[in-house]
Amino acid sequence: MSVFCAEVETGKETPCDYTSGNWVQDKLGPLYNGTTCATIKKGQNCITHGRPDLGYLFWRWKPKQCHIPRFEPNTFLQILSNKHIAFVGDSMARNQLESLLCMLATVSPPNLVYTDGEENKFRRWHFSSHNVSVSVYWSPFLVKGIEKSQDGPNYNKLYLDQVNERWAADMGQMDMIVLSVGHWFLHPAVYFEGDSVLGCHYCPGLSHSEIGFYDVLRKAIKTTLKTIIERRVANANGNGVNVIVTTFSPAHFEGEWDKAGACAKTKPYMEGEKQLEGMDAEMRQLEVEEVEAAKANGKKFAGFRLQALDVTKLSLMRPDGHPGPYMNPFPFADRVQERVQNDCVHWCLPGPIDTWNEIMLEVLNKWNNQGR
């Protein structure tokens, strides 16, 4: 995955493989903190929840070939002027969205103009300084899905040949779509194509064949990208659409989720210390492959740009960046507890996830320069 980053020594632009690199110490730290940004979800506000070590804030991702600049919020807003960017997916999509909102809010206040659904799963903000709209759509499968509930079956139902219209119905208003899913595909589910059951994942007691979730995730991404091309590019009279697919973000549980020290590391892994393998590698690989296939299919259409935001490896190297027990305020205020809920999946804000948006801005800069 290459973007054009500025070489430090020459000032020239050169293709940069930003997936290969190291985390290096950075004295500047983040653009915002837990009190200056009002849109951080409480569970990711590690600073105000009393996390005692703040060293995790002072690292930057350094690709081997080049330098990724610090996020420049004015540049991002200028590129997206008069446009609508929508984050579609699960709680990792929301995590990335809230990181972006915090960084943009350092130069322009976001106004919440729409909210709907429990836990505000559908929200939209407006930056009046540049007439930019930023939305989040809860859609943990991208395709049509019925989530398990206390009143119904204890498994999800996924319809792999149909996108979820809760977000897709608004596709015509979206100039840029950021897709991010993965973790919900690990849950028990039954899979449908049309009226036929394809199989299931972890469904004891049902008569369906166990087919796992890798091919299912692949089909969901394939259906989503195909539908975007059909609706927003092939049959559109407008300016097309830009699409980013954020790759799988690994969890870092090193013990039980409810035991102290589930993700207790305070520093990044160094290059070579942790390998990308197993499920993390599989999830990333199939997402990248589907993006490349959709790119090939979309080449004949003007106004369609697609890129995988390949953050799996650089995220794998940050076991220190999760809330852990600090998903709740001051979890050890009374005494050190043996059992305490940990979040080793989502990312502290500010934290490593801010880097995802720095790289995304580099992608936008590249697209913007190509357009000119």
Residues in Cβ contact with 90 at an 8 Å cutoff, skipping those fewer than 6 apart? 138, 139, 140, 180, 181, 182, 183, 184
Q: Cα separation of 303 and 291, whole Å?
A: 16
φ, ψ of residue 41 in degrees (nearest 5):
-65, 135
| Alpha-helical segments (H) within the chain | 73-79, 91-104, 165-168, 214-228, 278-298, 312-316, 353-371
> What does the block give as tokens for 146?
């019925």
**Catalytic residue chosen out of the listed positions 126, 183, 322, 346:** 346
Q: Cα separation of 104 and 123, whole Å?
A: 16
Listed residue (204, 189, 193, 198) closest to 157, CA to CA: 189
> What does the block give as tokens for 167?
């977000």
Beta-strand relationship, 143-146 and 156-163? antiparallel
Give me the helix-helix angle, 91-104 and 353-371, nearest 10°: 70
User: 293 and 222 in contact (C-beta within 8 Å)?
Assistant: yes
- The rounded radius of gyration (Å) of the Cα atoms in the chain is 20
> What does the block give as tokens for 147?
């989530």
**Catalytic residue chosen out of the listed positions 175, 310, 343, 354:** 343
Bridge partners (DSSP) listed for residue 192? 159, 197
Catalytic-residue membership of 346 = yes
Listed residue (93, 76, 31, 18) closest to 57, CA to CA: 31
Q: Cα separation of 307 and 326, whole Å?
A: 33
Catalytic-residue membership of 161 = no
φ, ψ of residue 303 in degrees (nearest 5):
85, 15
**Catalytic residue chosen out of the listed positions 84, 91, 130, 139:** 91
> How many beta carbons lie within 10 A of that of residue 231, not counting itself?
15
The answer to whether the Cα torsion of 316, 329, 100, 299 is positive or negative is positive
CA dihedral 171→86→218→348, nearest 10 degrees, is: -170
Q: Cα separation of 321 and 356, whole Å?
A: 13
Query: Which residues form the catalytic set?
Result: 91, 343, 346
